[in-house]
Amino acid sequence: MKRTAVLLAACLALIALVASCEKKPGETGKDGRPRIVTTLFPLYDFARNIAGDRAEVHLLLPPGMESHSFEPKPDDIVRINKSALFVYTNRFMEPWAADIIAGLDTRRTLVVDASRGARLLKAGHNGEHDHAEEGHHHAGEAAHHHGDGIDPHLWLDFANARIMVDNILAGLVARDPAHRDFYTANATAYKAKLADLDERYRKGLASCEKRMFLHGGHYAFGYLANRYGLHYEAAYAVTADAEPSPAKIADLIKKIRANNLRYIYTEELVEPRTADTIARETGARVLRLNGAHNIGRDDLAAGVTFLSLMEQNLNNLKIGLQCR
């Protein structure tokens, strides 16, 4: 992150100069529509469902890039500074955002912390969560997502996802009040789809032979497990660039055997080496769960959505948990 801080300092000075030279605000895109820049795929998909054709929505992450290792480049910072709305997940998911936000002209760019008011959880390896204060982060907590800090993957609790939709809606209405009714109607319809998805998860996972799922990747699915009363463990911590310890891999192998589990999960955009190793040792099969941080170029072109990814997750969970 030191390299990022140096880069940001240089870029912010450049951006201030560029902004001062512009003849008109850069917060609108084609046809004068508000330009929205979002950090992760769930935010992008929420925003484009709310905005419809009344705003121009952009995903900051390049297609196929693993989100935890992303560091903004100068062009990214310029795009944020030229937006009407900058939507990020939270300071634990995007610790680099604080420096960019500090340099923004808030008359041009409105910042939306999508986690505002949501229930955040502390993460660990052992599948157990402590609740952080809802909608508030203690000033003394480190603003990162490592070890046993705050779990940033809040969108995988669909109640939180609905709150995130509301936060994006509020920001968009503030920037474009003339289309308030249009945006509000779209947000209401989308939240109904999230509520329906939530209910199908509850019903689909209610009668399963197993209540535990193990993951050969980073700790991404704690919110999902917490919401539906499942026990979840991952090979390593909440950042995808961590390394699993031999002891943790051995522990997961032991748990698969002890609980007669037939499947080990892997995740999108991360090499499945750990899951494959555990599968070879135990005879378990590998299934994918998608945290939806980001998607590949082909999926983006094919119109993959957050809801469709969550449908795939439900199907694979039902297989792995041997649900009736």
69 contacts 80 by C-beta, under 8 angstroms: no
Q: Which residues pair with 130 in a beta bridge?
A: 122
DSSP for 14-27 reads HHHHHHHH-SS---
Instruction: Give the integer Cα–Cα distance in Å for 228 and 82.
Output: 40
Q: For 188, phi and psi rounded to 5 degrees?
A: -60, -45
Query: How is domain 202-320 classified at the CATH fold level?
Result: Rossmann fold (3.40.50)
Q: What is the dihedral of CA 17, 21, 25, 30, to 10 degrees?
A: -100
CATH topology identical between 2-199 and 202-320: yes
Instruction: Report d(CA 246, CA 33) in Å as an integer.
Output: 52
pLDDT value of position 241 = 66
- Predicted local distance difference test score (pLDDT) of residue 298: 94
Q: Residue 143: what pLDDT? A: 33
pTM of the model: 0.87
Count of CB atoms within 10 A of residue 225's CB?
Answer: 23
Q: Do strands 285-289 and 263-267 pair parallel, antiparallel, or not at all (unpaired)?
A: parallel
Strands in the chain per DSSP E: 35-38, 56-59, 85-88, 110-113, 121-122, 130-131, 150-151, 212-218, 231-236, 263-267, 285-289
User: How far is residue 171's CA from residue 166's CA, in Å, rounded to a whole number?
Assistant: 9
Along the chain (324 residues), what's the average pLDDT of each consecutive run of 10 residues?
Answer: 45 44 50 93 98 97 91 95 97 94 94 97 60 40 47 97 98 97 98 98 97 96 97 87 87 98 94 95 97 94 97 98 95
Report domain extents, the chain.
Answer: 2-199, 202-320
Task: Retrieve residue 166's tokens.
Answer: 């509301």
Q: Which phi-psi region, left, alpha or beta, contains residue 210 (left: φ > 0; alpha: ψ -120 to 50)?
A: beta
CATH class as words, domain 2-199 = alpha beta
**Residue whose tokens read 């009344």:** 54
Termini Cα distance of the chain: 47
